Every structure is written in structure tokens, then in C-alpha cells.
Chain A
Amino acid sequence: MNIQVNRRHLLSGAGALTIAIMLPGKKAQAAVFGAEKRPPLDPRNLSSYITINADGTVITYWGKMDMGQGTDLGCAQMVAEELDLPVDKVSVLQGDSGTSVNQGGASGSTGIQSGGVTLASAAAEARYQLIEMASKHLGVPAADLTTVNGTVQSRSDASKKVTYGELIGGRFFETQLEWNKQIGNGLFVKGKGVRKPVSDYKVIGTSPARRDVPFKVLGTGDYVVDIKVPGMVHGRVIHPPVAGAQPVSFDEASVKDIPGVQIVHEKGFLAVVAPREYDAVKAMRQLKVTWSDVKPPFSGNAKLYDHIRNAPALANGSAKDVGNIDATFAGAARVIEATYEWPFQSHASMGPACAVVEIKDGGATVWTGSQKPHFTGDGVAAMLGLPKEKVRGIWVPGPGSYGRNDAGDAAADAALIAKKIGKPVRVIGMRADATGWDPKGPASVHKARAALDKDGKVIGWDFGSKGFSRLDVNSNESAVYDTLAGQAIGVDLKPTNAFATPEESYDFSAKRKTWETIAPLLDRSSPLRGAHLRDPLGPQIHFASESFIDELAFATGQDPVAFRLKHLSEPRDVAVVKAASEKAGWQPRTAARKQVSGDVARGQGIAYAQRTGTRVAIVAEVEVNLKTGKVWGRKVTVAHDCGVIINPKQLTHTIEGNVCQGLSRALWEEVKFDDKNVTSVDWETYPILDIMEAPETVDVVLINMPNIAPSGAGEASMRPLAAAVANAIYDATGVRLRQAPFTPERLKAGLA
């Protein structure tokens, strides 16, 4: 096996420019061939997305990044496709505001669907420009030229050819693109170059090897925790024992035996720093702090759902009504109703977030594991009072990221500390800071009603959600008020109220889908602030809506798959439901089958959902231990349609990851809190799926739609998973669980 042992060496294979740009600092920049002449990083400049090295290899600059799902590779494939190059000739520089425009970071499963499509569009323009240049160079009309494996050549005389490297290698494209004036996920550019027809695809649809795997497995690359800057000190932030309490005073003498320790305090923000990391840990534990006496802000998670039901709505929204829902319910022969509940959940990333901030030469650099390093840089600039363009945000792999986790807070912590002590700072939390104090996926209550006519036909569906906003803090960290440190130093807050409704195509003749949000339990510096967690709101809403569809099927004496196929109106939705149920060997039934042998009950359940264009149906097969109440998701079958498939292997892996993480959230995950603070703060109190409980089989059916633009795949299969499991538990036991997670305690209570 040929294994590259150094990530930078791996990248350097693609040309000198790559290796130099990976290294921050002026000296390194000066070493970059032509770098000083690189046109400004403007979304309109083709050079912001594509450059060609002297050896003809290509670098594409991606204002997003891959968190291990292979989307950078997908982008490389899309660019290689448009430029008629083998994929190994294209390297991707990602997630660095010093080298790429802000394409929104890893966000909303848009890596391929907007990030990759934008790079492909830029690559198509690069190809167009290369042909124009070659036309002049060779004296051949552009119409007679084509691109083959990194050369432009005449169709009529193959001896007339010139390589990309000869045409522009080491220089920059000067072409301007049409830009839609958006930054972030919505950024799109277009030139005169037209993208290839699907029929010509050679690289898209294949599964080359991922580039990040060797350095991760061999342990030869840097994570954020490995970043070191000369003169750097180690910081630890001290969070209050009662949420909302402020440090009133602290006893410096209590840490005076620790070498080089410094205490950093501003209003509600308190941290310690030390030159050695373990000394910072000791200082954090040892510092005697007097906290303000605040009224305990919470009422405990046992009263959570009553609180949500009773709290006044701050904001509301709805999908467009179908038919006349009120008249339909007024005239119904029968109404079926059910309520479902979903708890706060933690990102619980593998490690606490880490960030390094260095202030230097009138600017600053932040190294972060955040999904949105461009915005993180903006947030650090705001915290430091610097212009945005003076702060570089560099993404370095972190301990996993599935939304707005604690990474954005660590960057703000490091910025504030660095500003106050005038030294570069590395901040990382302890486990309790990560699981206890990260922003949370919001808790919610969902009420579903259906109107039936006298023949038992469903004629109306009314689905309402009420819960905490998914945007108490924004999903990017560009504003100080969206970070824990910012909130601690007292800036004005700007929370946004946002929820969502089910995404489906049921053809019920009257339909209403609504939502309401309520105020956060604590409006500032809260360990329960609502934020994006993988497929924001998707699992909770579709747990409720797809459990209810099952309830309707059984209430009307119909098989859950047949019921869905009868009512789904979009062919792609029908196709995933058919594909999943056929592959899983679906056994039709009109009541729970309760297949029991010994202590184990077996069942099968289906659920389906759309997610911004992607369609997923899942059949879960579970075993419920009737004695212990433990549920094992033994086999999970996923049918998945996200348009044209760029890389089938990485798509399959991404779905497998969603299945295991989704099982974890469905079976185990619930943030616990008492009146004072979050009490689920580590892996014992916030358990996740263990490998003993991993499925025996994850069977993935990929449905490729070559003529449909790619839609997101990073999160869609998370969406219907909890409902598929709940429906399988019902089939196994006859117990309908309407509150997640489906823990042994809840199963036993249901079975009793």
C-alpha cells in the first residue's frame, strides 16, 4: 500500500502554489509563485475559484469545507469533469478566508448542491477561456477546439494542441463572472462557459479515494487542537454553576502557586490562562470564585413539555394551506389526534471545541473547527474591533461538527482573551463545557390531527409544532451577540424566531401546517440556547408527522406502506418508498404484528421525508428486549434520491453515518437539566449509541437522477429515521412511543 505520511506532502503533489498557500504568514506568501499578483478575492473573479499551475494541475478554492463526508472530493470531481482532467489533477483548498470567497462554510447540506455547482460553473468558464486562449495560440477557430486530458486540441488536426499549463500555468485568470450578489450558501457565479451535458460525464458518478482519510488514520495531520503559535498561552473559560450567574469576585491567591497564571475577567466572562496547558486546567479548577446569587432559571426537564405547551407564542408561521381545513374538520365523521415530544439535544462533539487566535500586525488570524470559518473570522473581527478584511478565518479539522456547536463560542472566547492579555491564545473546554454549554437542538411539542369521512378516508390533516427557536443564536458566528462570550460581556441580543413544517407530498384534500416558537428559558448566556443541530428541526418534526401517518394507516385499517403510496403525489417520493420497502422485504400489515420469541419482539417500520429536494425513505427493523426495554436497530434500509450522484461510495458512507447518529438521537439522546443548569454533561449522563448497538446491516439503495441537479445528502437521511424506529417499535410491541428518545425506561413504561 502506498501511503502518504504527511498531509502537506499530499497536497504538494498538486503544485508549489498549494503548499505555500497552506502556510500562513508573509514569508510563505512571498514564496508563492505569483501569489502577490493574485487578483483580489472577489466573488466576480474567476481566479477566486480556479487557478492552474505550470504543470497543468488545477487548484480549486472552496469557501466551504468537508467534515468527512467526501464533499471536497465531490467538488474536485465536478471541477475535473468540466475541465476534462483526471480527478487527481485537481486539488481543493477549503475553508480559509485567506484563499477562498465566503460560500457559507459547511452548512445546510449545500456542499455539493451550491458549493460544488458554483465551482463547476467556474470550471466551465475556465474551460471556455482556455479554448479562447488556445484559439489565438494555435491559430485555430474556437469551434474546432476541444479539451482532452488537460490539453486543448483541434478536432480536425490532433497535432495542433496546447496544454493548460502552457496557456496559463502560474498566471491567473483575469475573467470576470456574473455574480448573483450573494455571499454564503446562496453564492452563485456564471460565465460564458456552458457546463457539460450529463451524457459526457466521466468523473462524476465515480468513487475515487478520499484525500483526508490517510492523514486521519495515520495521525499525520493537524487538528485545531494541534495548532501552535509562538508565544501562545492556554486558556480555559469558567462557566457559572447556576446558569445566568455572574462572577462577583475571585480570589487570585487561590491560584498563585500556578506558574504564569493570569485571570481574565470582563462582566460575566471569566477565564484563566497559563503557559502550560495542564496549569490552565488546574487554575480553572482551583480558582475560588464568588458568583452572583441568581434565581434558578429553569424548572427542570421533567416539566419541559408542559412549559412549551403553556408558554405564550413569540412568533408563528405556516406553509400554504390546502383546501378549507376548518370546514373539513367541522364536517368530519371522525377526528384522530396525537401529540409528540422531542427533547433538547446536544451536539456532543467528540472533543470540546478548540480555537486559536493570534493578533498581529494590525490584524488577526483564527484557527477554528467551526463549519463557517469566514463568518467566524468576521465574528472575531467584531470582537476585536477590527475591519473584517483584517481577520483571516482558517478552518482546521475539529472534533466533528453537525451544525452550530461550541466551535463558534471557542473562537469568540479566544478572541476576547487574546485581546485582553495581548498574547496568542488557544482555548479548549473540558467535557462538561462541550456537552453542558454547547448550543442545543431545540425541544418541541407537535400536535397532529386528521379528519376522516364516514368511509374512513382521510380528508384533512392539521399539523402544528410549538417549540424553542432553532436560531436563539445564529448558525454563523459573525456577530458578537451570537456567541457565549459576547453574551457574557453584555452586548445587545438579537435572537431570531424560526421553526419549520413537514416536507412531504401527501395529497390530503385539506392540509394545514403551522409552527409557533416560544421564548428561551434564559435569554442570555444560556446552556439551552437553540441552534442548528444536524438537519435542524427535521428529526423532531418528521418523528411526529411520520409517526402520525402510521397511526392514521392503522386507524383506517391500512398497511403503512400502502397508505403512503396511495397518498403521496410526487413520483420521486413514491419511488423511494417503493424502493425501501421492496429492498427491506416489507411485510404488509394492518395492525402491529408483535412478533415475539423469548424476550425479544421484532418489528419493522417505515417513514419517509423530503429535504430541500432530496427524498429519503427508511425501513427500520428493530428488536425490543421485553425484559430490559432496550431497542436494537438491527437493520436499516435507506432509499435515497438526491438528484445526480457525484460519488456513490461517499454518498453511501454519509448515509451510514446519518443512520448511526440518527439511531443515537432516537434511542438515547436527551439533555437533562434541573432548576439551575444542564446536568447531562458527559458520556455517562448524555449517552450516545455504543458499537454494541450499531446495526448489523445498513442497506442503502441509491436512486440516481442524472438529469436533476444534485441536492443535499449530508442530513436528509437523519430526517425520517426516528419515525421509522418508532413505527418499528410499534410493530414489534404495540406500544406507540410519542416522546423521544426511546430509552429502556420509556419502553418499559409503555410495556407495563
Chain B
Amino acid sequence: MAKISLNVDGKSHSIDADGDMPLLYALRDDLGLRNPKFGCGLAQCGACTVLVDGEPVRSCITPVDSLSSSKITTLAGLGGGKAHKIQEAFIAEEVPQCGYCLNGWLMTAAAFLEKTPKPSDAQIRDALSGLKCRCGTHVAILRAVKRAALA
């Protein structure tokens, strides 16, 4: 056990944890955040995605002691107190079925659109490749990311 400092959505936190504990457990269990989800624990699905200094990172395999000087952003902090344009687009397109995977698509797409504001269809697919959606909402996701890009 060690004292670990985390900056999450603009707030500083200190928790007691094993340094090798994945960030996801700190976010969910210690800080009580519900957006990053446990999907696989293997960095294979993306449901746990957060932004670390603006880059999408799979929190389920990221050791909690590797982040002391980083700014972590979760879905709750993505829009800075209001809905981010990617969230508005996903709501307008009524994307989710179960919605369990959404966190990964939203965080990854938001980071992608930040760097690539006018993406082609192929670039959108490429950027989101590897994320999983079991309900099969892929075509709605593609519509929503396009909508956000045009917003």
C-alpha cells in the first residue's frame, strides 16, 4: 500500500493503494466514478477508456502509480460541466442499446475529433477500430461520430 495522488477531471485525490493496481479500480472503487467500465481487464474492448493528458488510455491495465503527474479525464469531465459535442451527437442519433461499451467509443472519438476535426469515413473507422460493441450499434456509432464532426 502506498499513498497515490491522482488528478481526475480537474480535482486532486489521494488514495491508499498498491502501486500496480489498475487505474480503473481506483476510479470506480476509490473515487466512486461509474463511467469507466470493467469489460475485459485486458485492454481489448475499451469500455474502461479515460484520457491521460488528452490521449485515450485503457485504465484497466494502467498501473495507478504511473500517473502522478498526469491529468486524467473521464467521461464525467469530458464536456467540462456540460455535454460534449460527441455526447450530443450520440444522443441525437440514439446510439446505445445496452450502453455498457459507450464510454470507450465516446472517449476515443472525442480524442480523435480533437486531432482530426474533418475526418473521412475511413479515418473514423480506423480510429475506432478495436473498440467492441456487442449489441451491434456500429452503424449508429458511425452516424453519430460523423454528426459530431460536422457539429
Contact = CB atoms under 8 A, between A and B. Distances in A.
B137 A683 contact: no
B136 A656 contact: yes
B140 A656 contact: yes
B142 A694 contact: yes
B37 interface: yes
A210 B93 CA distance: 10
A664 interface: yes
Interface string A209-238: 110111011110011011000000000000
Interface in B99-151: 99-103, 106, 125-126, 128-142
Given A660-B136, A683-B40, A683-B45, A691 B128 contact: yes
Contact of A399 (B37, B88, B92, B95): B37
A225 B33 CA distance: 11
B100 A350 contact: yes
A219 B134 CA distance: 18
Contact of B94 (A352, A430, A649, A690): A649
A278 B126 CA distance: 33
Nearest to B122: A692
* Residue with the greatest number of chain A CB neighbours at <10 A, chosen from B34, B134, B142: B134
Contacts of A212: 96, 99
A350 B133 contact: yes
B34 A688 contact: no
* Residue with the greatest number of chain B CB neighbours at <10 A, chosen from A1, A209, A217, A349: A217
Contact of A400 (B41, B98, B129, B140): B98
* Residue with the greatest number of chain A CB neighbours at <10 A, chosen from B28, B106, B133: B133
Contacts, number: 175
Contacts of B31: none
Contacts of B130: 690
Contacts of A662: 136
B37 to A, nearest CB: 6
A682 interface: yes
B49 interface: no
Interface residues of A, number: 59
A691 B146 CA distance: 14
B34 A68 contact: no
A410 interface: no
Contacts of B140: 653, 656
B103 A691 contact: no
A75 to B, nearest CB: 17
A209 B34 contact: no
B41 A431 contact: yes
B98 A68 contact: yes
* Residue with the greatest number of chain B CB neighbours at <10 A, chosen from A67, A219, A653, A694: A219
Interface in A46-75: 67-70
Contacts of A683: 40, 42, 44-45, 132
Contacts of B95: 213, 217
B34 A223 contact: yes
By DSSP majority rule, is chain B's interface helix, strand, loop, or mixed? loop
Contact of A688 (B22, B82, B96, B132): B132
By DSSP majority rule, is chain A's interface helix, strand, loop, or mixed? loop
Nearest to A216: B99
A632 to B, nearest CB: 11
A277 B25 contact: yes
A428 B38 contact: yes
A690 B21 CA distance: 29
B77 to A, nearest CB: 10
Interface in A695-720: 695, 698
Contact of B83 (A3, A428, A430): A3
A10 interface: no
Contacts of B83: 1, 3, 217-218
A217 B106 contact: yes
A397 B125 contact: no
A480 B51 CA distance: 43
A482 B95 CA distance: 34
A86 interface: no
Contact of B41 (A68, A219, A430, A661): A430
A697 to B, nearest CB: 8
Nearest to B26: A278
A684 interface: yes
B76 A219 contact: yes
B128 to A, nearest CB: 5
Contact of B97 (A222, A400, A664): A400
Contact of A664 (B29, B34, B41, B136): B136
A350 B44 CA distance: 11
B149 to A, nearest CB: 15
A263 interface: no
Nearest to B106: A217
A661 B137 CA distance: 9
Given A277-B25, A278-B17, A691-B142, A350 B101 contact: yes
* Residue with the greatest number of chain A CB neighbours at <10 A, chosen from B17, B22, B75, B99: B99
A721 B56 CA distance: 35
A694 B98 contact: no
Nearest to A3: B83
Contact of B136 (A210, A276, A397, A658): A658
Contacts of B42: 431, 682-684
A67 B97 CA distance: 6
Contact of A276 (B29, B87, B101, B106): B29
Contact of A653 (B44, B94, B132): B94
A131 B89 CA distance: 44
B91 to A, nearest CB: 5
Nearest to A718: B136
A692 B34 contact: no
Interface in A343-362: 348-352
Contacts of B75: 218-219
Contacts of A401: 98
B43 to A, nearest CB: 10
B79 to A, nearest CB: 9
B59 interface: no
B39 A350 contact: yes
A402 B126 CA distance: 28
Contacts of B101: 350
B88 A225 contact: no
Contact of A69 (B29, B97, B126): B97
Interface of A: 1, 3, 67-70, 209-210, 212-214, 216-219, 222-223, 225-226, 276-278, 281, 348-352, 397-402, 428, 430-431, 649, 653, 656-664, 682-684, 688-692, 694-695, 698
9 contacts: A3-B83, A213-B96, A656-B140, A657-B137, A661-B135, A683-B42, A684-B44, A690-B130, A695-B139
Interface of B: 17-18, 21-22, 25, 28-29, 34-35, 37-42, 44-45, 47, 75-76, 82-83, 87-88, 90-92, 94-103, 106, 125-126, 128-142
Given A69-B97, A402-B134, 6 more contacts: A217-B96, A350-B45, A350-B47, A399-B37, A691-B138, A692-B125
Sorted nearest first, the 8 A-B pairs with minimum C-beta distance are A660-B136, A68-B97, A216-B99, A694-B138, A661-B136, A400-B98, A219-B35, A399-B100
